């Protein structure tokens, strides 16, 4: 995993999460808020809202598997698995980044 603490604000990094190299960005400081995009989205879908959310918060924005800058890896996909993985991978990223409060 890349240690994002030395990265510039809003600069992206990758974290090894559950066999996946997950791309994420950190914006702002304060209590963590994790942004999860929908269906065919990516971090960019938050556009002008992201900096507003980062006022007074530490926003962790992620590109989930096969979206944005996070690659597809060969593993089974279903709506149920995607939901469970989204929760688990986000929690693992949270642990890896030390953002869990």
Q: Which domain holds residue 42?
A: 4-97
The CATH number linked to 83 is 3.40.50.1820
Q: Give the model's confidence band at 16: pLDDT under 50 very low, under 70 low, under 90 confident, else very high.
A: confident
* pLDDT more than 70, % of the chain: 65
Q: Give the model's confidence band at 34: pLDDT under 50 very low, under 70 low, under 90 confident, else very high.
A: confident
Q: State the DSSP string of 36-50.
A: E--TT--GGGGTTHH
pLDDT at 49: 93
Structure tokens at 85: 């993985």
**Total number of domains constituting the chain:** 1
- 27 with 12: CB under 8 angstroms? no
Map tokens 């600069």 to a residue. Answer: 11
**Which residues does residue 62 pair with via DSSP β-bridges, in sequence order?**
24, 36
Note the pLDDT tens digit of each residue in 36-74. 887 788 888 888 999 999 999 999 888 887 777 877 778
Per-residue H/E/C for 15-38: EEECCEEEEEEEECCCEEEEEECC
State the average pLDDT for the chain: 76
**Model pTM score:** 0.67
pLDDT at 1 over 60: no
Burial of 23 (0-12, 13-18, 19+ CB in 10 A): buried
């Amino acid at each position: 995993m890349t240690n994002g603490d030395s990265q510039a604000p809003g600069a992206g990094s990758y974290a090894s999460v559950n066999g996946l190299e997950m791309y994420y960005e950190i914006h702002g400081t304060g209590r963590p808020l994790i942004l999860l995009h929908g269906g065919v989205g990516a971090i960019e879908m938050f556009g002008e809202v992201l900096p507003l959310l980062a006022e007074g918060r530490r926003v962790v924005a992620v590109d989930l598997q096969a979206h944005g800058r996070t690659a597809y890896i060969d593993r089974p996909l279903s709506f149920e698995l995607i939901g469970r993985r989204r929760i688990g991978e986000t929690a693992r990223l949270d642990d890896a980044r030390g953002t869990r409060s």
